[in-house]
Chains A and B, each alone.
Chain A
Amino acid sequence: TMAFRHKNTRRIEGLDSNVWVEFTKVAADPSIVNLGQGLPDISPPSYVKEELAKVAAVDRLNQYTRGFGHPSLVKALSQVYERVCGRKIDPLTDILVTVGAYGSLFSTIQALIEEGDEVIIIEPFYDCYEPMVKMAGAKPVFIPLRNKNDGNSASSADWVLDPAELANKFNSKTKAIILNTPHNPIGKVFTREELQVIADLCIKHDTLCISDEVYEWLVYKGNKHIKIATLPGMWERTITIGSAGKTYSVTGWKLGWSIGPQNLIKHLQVVHQNTLYTCPTPLQEALAQAFGIDYKRMDDPDCYFYSLSRELESKRDRMAQLLQEAGLKPVIPDGGYFMIVDVSTLNVDLSDVDEKQPYDYKFVKWMITSKKLSAIPLSAFCGPETKREFEKYIRFCFIKKDSTLDAAEVILKNWNKQTA
């Protein structure tokens, strides 16, 4: 046999498994009511699709555009975000367009994080943060959100950071903290006071803030999304990440952006020009047009940024009701389109399932096969120390059309009857 010594590089050692690869396969069966992966099964707004159709007919829009972001798109983004942030944002130097917010996270981490660095990650966390930090050679330092009402959590607002515990995580090696607000999976919308605690520590320790704000428009009554970059002393040390997929219900367009000061964004641009160079043109142009339409009506309640949020709030309330009627206590999210729920009260005995996986992984797999309903296990979003605490929770996605929620309702009602 021929010699062959080639294995993977050190940087990707141990990063090959992934909760999505595992669970999207299992839930792909169309007979399963899929409330797992975070993708809408509602249609994007029709004008968004129409803009893309118009663009497809323009010949030159099928060829390469500007690497760091299609000119009309970065201009539209700067307009929208100047208004939101109340500061000037240069479309050419302060913005990078990436392949989804995922690509922004990658570009930011590759640009600014290296071996010897520590990066603080708040648990539970969107699962890619940990492997991306590791791939950059750095050490993830975890800090959990804790239920301040100790077991009786009705709201995502009940989940908080302990300021003293947080302060202890910062040291001279701390290069960055990753913030996600509104938060996936809990749906927490960090308050100004909570953001100030984080900001104070970032300034004190000269730490960067990577702020994943993909759900920024999805905040429910009584809550306000605040950008940490707008707090004093934070613009110069923050990269704020956004997503077309979440803003316009087009996750399959895979367009995102990073916004920040030129002296940080320029390094993300270097990563981008050495990884994929440019993002697809027609999608960027269509997105620019859609932003143009909604920018003009940002004072109008019909603006999609607000109308989608209202639509999702009623789905949230319906999802919560369904789970409550099944005897469960969901954590009502203040933002985002996910809801977590403690399933231990159902007392489903899976001790005979001979797998070394956490309880919630086993529970979700069991639920998929026996109830035809899918969700995502919460321990996928935790570091090694906290998996035990979170393994009784699962996450449901509720950006689903009525018929999907109807089907979920049937399953949950029957479930209750069966166990009664």
Chain B
Amino acid sequence: QTHFLSLSLQAKMSRPVQARRLEGIDKNIWVEFVKLAATYSTVNLGQGFPDFPPPDFLKEAFVRALSGENHMLHQYTRAFGHPPLVKILAQFFGKLLGQDLDPMTNVMVTVGAYQALFCCFQAFVDDGDEVIIIEPFFDCYEPMVKMAGGMPVFVPLRPKAPKDGKLMSSADWQLDPAELASKFSERTKAIVLNSPNNPLGKVFSRGELEVIADLCVKHDVLCISDEVYEWLVYDGKEHIRIASLQGMWDRTVIIGSAGKTFSATGWKVGWTVGPNRLLQHLCTVHQNSVYHCATVAQEAVAQGFQRELKLYGKPESYFVQLPKELQQKRDWLIQSLDAVGMKPIIPEGTYFLVADISEFKSDVPDVPDSDEPYDSRFAKWMVKNKGLAAIPLSAFYCGAHKNNYNHFIRFCFAKEEATLKAANDILQKWKREKTNP
């Protein structure tokens, strides 16, 4: 065994073993907060998943698929999407978009919407490309852009003060059109749109989408449209698909999620819809990264959509019932929070809401020169001491902006009545302790 290593070998051994593309993307808020919730929480309104089951018709479809005579459903299916699923998705979204969609070229199935996002960034973002991200944002957009060698460019939704005495709505958080326009440069490759928006619950209006669309067309920029909460809109609001706006179909990839659509987040079935000249590149990424998605869940989701197509717009449709139920839960939680002095922002959509915890600040003293944003320390204190798990809003901002809105936390209300009641009990008790220490 030689003790003299060549210079080149020494150089190699002194380099980090991991690839440079991982630089700055190793931290992840969920790893920490999911662990905390698992350890301390009695009521988990943190991570975004329902604590109620998927609908019976979907579970039954799953059992039929796995135990049926056709055991080939346990083997590989078509790589870009199980034929029954892409066919029904093409039909369904074709109807919603008013277009003829080809299931083989206008739809690609992915391992959750998460992998759809990954394919988009890998397919279209090269070194030095800029990608506009609207804050607050679902946290994975930033590291995915970086991993693709791109530069995230942030533009904030800014809150307008609500009318006296009224609770703020997610509609009050808006982009400044001039500020947005200033973010577009010749290096801008894409903008990521998330409507309905996680974490605020904002549902972008037609006018707001038109501002974005005009800029995309003017600057020849792609739109990655994350619409996973498309069915969860309240108060009669309409979810408008930016791809249906003038000039947008050709430059938009629409992303959807069976997990959110059918309350089955653990199935990890997502999809992309768009023009072939964009989707073909997503297919290239997909066939060189995961290649196939699991078959049985795709078969079940296909059956779920077939049912929904038949019942579209009718009261028995899951897409009508689910938002109705969730709106009730939303209103419940709003009442609970408002009653104790946490100020909820009424979400127009999604199953999240954000609340201002300023009145509870005395429980968690400021730590000067702390690296950690206030709301993060607050959320950690709250789960450890009150057993109530929520996510700090700063998790949805880039590093430089984490302290801009650091007195808000996000709650997930896709929970059974019993869970929301238990949350209410915790909040009420907490308030009592504050007024009568």
Asked whether A99 lies within 8 Å of B290 as measured between CB atoms, the reply is yes
Residues of A contacting B292 with CB < 8 Å?
Answer: 100, 102, 252, 254
Cβ B74 vs Cβ A252 within 8 A: yes
Cross-chain contact A206 with B13 (CB below 8 angstroms): yes
A-B CB contact pairs (8 Å), 28 listed: A3-B220, A6-B124, A6-B220, A6-B251, A8-B123, A8-B281, A9-B122, A9-B148, A12-B123, A16-B281, A56-B63, A62-B265, A64-B47, A65-B266, A99-B111, A99-B294, A102-B292, A106-B289, A132-B288, A252-B77, A263-B17, A264-B17, A267-B18, A267-B22, A270-B18, A273-B31, A278-B268, A283-B297
Kindly provide the distance from the CB of A188 to the nearest chain B CB, expressed in whole angstroms. 24
Q: Which residue of chain B has its CB nearest to the CB of A38?
A: B76
User: Which of B18, B118, B265, B284 makes the CB contact (< 8 A) with A111?
Assistant: B18
Q: Is B183 an interface residue (CB 8 A)?
A: no
Return chain B residues, CB-CB under 8 Å to A410. Answer: none
The reply to whether B111 and A40 form a contact with Cβ atoms under 8 Å apart is no
The answer to whether A12 touches B281, judged by C-beta atoms less than 8 angstroms apart, is yes
Contacting pair A206 B12 (CB below 8 A): yes
A110 in contact with B19 given A43-B71, A135-B288, A280-B267 (CB within 8 Å): yes
**B interface footprint on A258-283 (CB within 8 Å = 1, 0 otherwise):** 00000110010011011111111111
Q: Which of B3-11, B156-164, B311-319, B376-384 contacts A (4 or more CB under 8 A)?
A: B3-11
CB distance from B305 to the nearest CB of A (A): 17
Contact (Cβ within 8 A) B63 A53: yes
- Which residues of chain A are within 8 angstroms of B34 by Cβ–Cβ distance? 66-67
Complex Cα gap A24–B147 (Å)? 32
Of all chain B residues, the one with the shortest Cβ separation from A48 is B74
Q: A41: which B residues are within 8 A, CB to CB?
A: 72, 75
**Are B49 and A276 within 8 A (Cβ)?**
no
**Contact with B114, one of A135, A255, A276 (Cβ below 8 angstroms):** A276
CB distance from B143 to the nearest CB of A (A): 5
Is A328 at the interface (CB under 8 A from chain B)? no
> Any chain A CB within 8 A of the CB of B30?
yes
Asked if A420 is at the interface of the complex by the 8 Å CB criterion, the answer is no
Query: Could you say which residues of chain A place their CB within 8 Å of the CB of B289?
Result: 102-103, 106, 132, 275
Knowing A39-B75, A172-B11, A253-B294 are in contact, say whether A276-B112 is a contact too (CB < 8 A).
yes
A377 at the interface (CB under 8 A from B): no
Contact A64 B265 (CB under 8 A): yes
Q: Is B53 an interface residue (CB 8 A)?
A: yes
Residue contact B12 to A49, C-beta cutoff 8 Å? no
Q: How far is the CA of A221 from the CA of B387 in the complex (A)?
A: 58
Chain B residues, CB < 8 A from A271? 22
What's the nearest-Cβ distance from chain A to residue B387, in Å? 18
Q: Which of B1-51 contact A (CB under 8 A)?
A: 6, 8-9, 11-13, 17-22, 25-26, 28, 30-31, 34, 47, 49-51
A interface size (C-beta, 8 A): 80
Q: A56-B63, A172-B8, A281-B266 are in contact. Are A62 and B53 (CB under 8 A)?
A: yes
Docked complex: B49-96 residues within 8 A CB-CB of A = 49-54, 59, 62-63, 66-67, 71-79
7 closest Cβ contacts across the A-B interface? A281-B266, A172-B8, A252-B295, A59-B53, A114-B19, A267-B18, A276-B115
B265 and A63 within 8 A (CB): yes
Please tell me if the beta carbons of B264 and A273 are within 8 angstroms of each other in the complex.
no
Given contacts A49-B66, A102-B290, contact A112 B17 (CB under 8 A): yes
- Is A12 within 8 A of B59, CB to CB? no
- The contact of A250 among B19, B20, B22, B75, by CB within 8 Å, is B75
Residue of B nearest to A41 (CB): B72
Beta-carbon contact of A112 and B250 below 8 Å: no
Compute how far the CA of A10 lies from the CA of B71 in the bound complex, rounded to whole angstroms: 40
| Residues of B contacting A263 in the complex (Cβ-Cβ under 8 angstroms) | 17
- With beta carbons under 8 angstroms apart, the residue of A24, A59, A114, A250 that contacts B52 is A59
Q: Which residues of A contact B287 (CB under 8 A)?
A: 18, 20-21
* Least distance between B284 CB and chain A CB atoms (Å): 4
Chain B residues with a Cβ under 8 A of chain A: 6, 8-9, 11-13, 17-22, 25-26, 28, 30-31, 34, 47, 49-54, 59, 62-63, 66-67, 71-79, 111-112, 114-115, 118, 122-127, 140, 143-144, 147-148, 189, 217, 220, 222, 247, 250-251, 263-268, 278, 280-281, 283-285, 287-297
Q: For A2, what are the chain B residues with a Cβ–Cβ distance below 8 Å?
A: 217, 220, 247, 250
Pairwise interchain contact B12-A63, C-beta atoms closer than 8 A: no
Indicate if A128 sits at the interface (CB-CB under 8 A).
yes
Interface residues of A in 221-280 (CB under 8 A from B): 245, 249-255, 263-264, 267, 270-271, 273-280
Q: Is the CB of B144 within 8 A of A274?
A: yes
Chain B residues with CB under 8 A of A16:
280-281, 283-284
Once A100-B292, A114-B19, A273-B31 are accepted as A-B contacts, the answer to whether A282 and B74 lie under 8 Å apart by CB is no
Q: Which B residues touch A280, using CB under 8 A?
A: 111, 266-268, 294, 297
Assembled-state Cα–Cα distance A7/B28 (Å)? 31
Q: For B66, list chain A residues within 8 Å (CB).
A: 49, 52-53, 56
| Measured CA separation A155–B8 after assembly (Å) | 40
Closest to B5 in A: A206
CA distance A245 to B75 in the complex (A): 8
Q: Which residues of B contact A3 (CB under 8 A)?
A: 220
Closest Cβ of chain A to B178, distance in Å, is 23
Given the complex, which residues of B lie within 8 Å of A64, measured CB to CB? Answer: 47, 49, 265-266
Partner of A9 from B73, B114, B126 at Cβ < 8 Å: B126
> Which chain B residues border A12 with CB–CB below 8 Å?
122-123, 281, 284-285, 288
Contacts of A59 in B (CB 8 A): 52-53
Does A74 have its Cβ within 8 Å of any Cβ on chain B?
no
A residues less than 8 Å from B123 (CB atoms): 8-9, 12
* A251 CA to B26 CA, complexed, in Å: 31
Of all chain A residues, the one with the shortest Cβ separation from B83 is A28
User: Across the interface, which residues of B come within 8 angstroms of A106, CB to CB?
Assistant: 288-290
Q: Evaluate contact between B22 and A270: CB separation under 8 angstroms.
A: yes
* Least CB distance, B7 to chain A, in whole angstroms: 9
Asked if A73 is at the interface of the complex by the 8 Å CB criterion, the answer is: no
**Cβ of A57 under 8 Å from chain B:** yes
A270 to B111, CA, bound (A): 17
What residues of B have a CB within 8 angstroms of the CB of A255 in the complex?
A: 294
Within 8 Å by CB of A276, from B52, B267, B290, lies: B290
Kindly name the residue among B8, B143, B147, B291 whose own CB sees the greatest number of chain A CB atoms within 10 A.
B291
Report Cα–Cα, A332/B148, bound state, in Å.
44
Chain B residues, Cβ within 8 Å of A18: 287
Residues of A31-47 whose CB lies within 8 A of B: 37, 39-41, 43-44
Check A11/B122 contact, CB under 8 A, given A4-B251, A49-B67, A172-B12: yes
Query: Is A205 interfacial (CB 8 A cutoff)?
Result: yes
Query: B118, A252: Cβ atoms under 8 Å?
Result: no
Candidates B17, B67, B125; contact of A53 at CB < 8 Å:
B67
Which of B20, B30, B278, B291 has a CB less than 8 Å from the CB of A128?
Answer: B291
